[in-house]
């Protein structure tokens, strides 16, 4: 699947025109990891967001014994998005449960695109808020 | 329509998953994630559909003990 096809099927980019999607495609860099790799390490400073193109990633919180397994994310899901918003430390570790292919967007590149095109910025930020809301609702149900 | 589905597993040790699907999940469907097989026992809308995406929640139970993630 092309990067444009992936982004079109990803809720984060829902509502963008083909031209706007093209601008986002230009920011994407592909990165692949074998199963068992640490993609994001809890506590690190993050400056990238990831979109899963293929494979599964498990989110775990380390420090607890045993580590807390939070959720498994599949194709079309995003991770690392919180640091795009708050520039804070990574809140959890992301480990590839299978071989994975990811599209990576740097925070600085994304912020520059949003500054340049507020329409893209509004749509993606709204979708980002909805994605965080979805994950929070999932988490609430998972802990019932 | 693409369905973004929150899978929560009741029983077992799997943490659950968030996965996209192009088919609407239904009660009694079987689904595989993380190398394990699960049966769906409940489906509900988690958030209203928007922009060609549906946002659903499915409660699952493990149907086997195999797990490879």
* ipTM score for this prediction: 0.92
Is pLDDT above 60 for A53? yes
Question: How far, in Å, are A77, A98, A125, B39, B59 from residue B3 at the CA level?
Answer: 12, 22, 20, 18, 15
Confidence of residue B68 (pLDDT cuts 50, 70, 90): very low
Average of per-residue pLDDT across B34-39: 88
Q: Are B45 and B4 in contact (CB under 8 A)?
A: no
Nearest to A57 by CA among A48, A70, A67: A70
Say what the pLDDT of residue A143 is. 85
What residues contact A140, with CB distance under 8 A and at least 6 apart? none
Tracing tokens 């498994």 back to the chain, one arrives at A72
Confidence of residue B65 (pLDDT cuts 50, 70, 90): low
Confidence of residue B33 (pLDDT cuts 50, 70, 90): confident
Show the tokens assigned to A129. 């808020």
Least confident of A102-111, A133-142, B7-16, B58-67: B58-67
Confidence of residue A63 (pLDDT cuts 50, 70, 90): confident
Which positions in chain A touch B8 (Cβ < 8 Å)? 138, 141-142
Q: Are A68 and A61 in contact (CB under 8 A)?
A: yes
**Most B CBs within 10 Å, among A5, A100, A141, A144, to test the B interface:** A141
What would the CATH number be for the domain defined by A3-107+121-142?
Answer: 2.60.120.10
Length of chain A: 144
Question: How far, in Å, are A9, A25, A123, B53 from residue A16 at the CA level?
Answer: 11, 12, 7, 13
Could you say which of B6, B47, B52 has the minimum Cβ distance to residue A14?
B52
Average of per-residue pLDDT across A124-134: 95
Show the tokens assigned to A42. 């809890």
Q: Work out how many CB contacts closer than 8 A connect A with B.
A: 81
Tracing tokens 């430390």 back to the chain, one arrives at A89
Say yes or no: A70 contacts chain B, CB-CB below 8 A.
yes
Show the tokens assigned to A136. 């929070």
Which positions in chain B touch A133 (Cβ < 8 Å)? 47
Pairing of strands B30-33, A29-33: unpaired
Task: Tell me the domain boundaries of chain A.
Answer: 3-107+121-142
CB contact under 8 A, B20 and A72: no
């Amino acid at each position: 699947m092309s990067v444009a096809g992936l982004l079109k099927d990803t809720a984060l980019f829902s509502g963008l025109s083909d031209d706007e999607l093209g601008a986002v495609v230009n920011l994407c860099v592909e990165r692949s990891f074998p199963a068992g790799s640490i993609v994001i390490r809890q506590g690190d400073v993050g400056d990238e967001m990831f979109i899963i193109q293929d494979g599964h990633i498990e989110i775990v919180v380390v420090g607890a014994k045993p580590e807390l397994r939070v959720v498994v994310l599949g194709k079309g899901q995003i991770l690392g998005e919180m640091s795009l918003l708050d520039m804070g430390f990574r809140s959890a570790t992301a480990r590839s449960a299978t071989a994975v292919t990811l599209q990576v967007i740097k925070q600085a590149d994304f912020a520059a695109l949003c500054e340049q095109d507020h329409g893209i910025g509004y749509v993606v930020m709204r979708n980002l808020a909805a994605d965080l809301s979805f994950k929070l609702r999932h988490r609430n149900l998972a802990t019932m | 329509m693409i369905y973004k589905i929150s899978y929560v597993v009741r029983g077992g040790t799997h943490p659950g998953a968030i996965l996209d699907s192009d088919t609407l999940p239904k009660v009694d469907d079987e689904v595989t994630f993380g190398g394990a097989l699960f049966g769906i026992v409940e489906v509900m809308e988690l958030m209203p559909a928007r922009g060609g995406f549906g946002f659903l929640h499915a409660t699952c139970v493990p149907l086997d003990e195999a797990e490879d993630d």
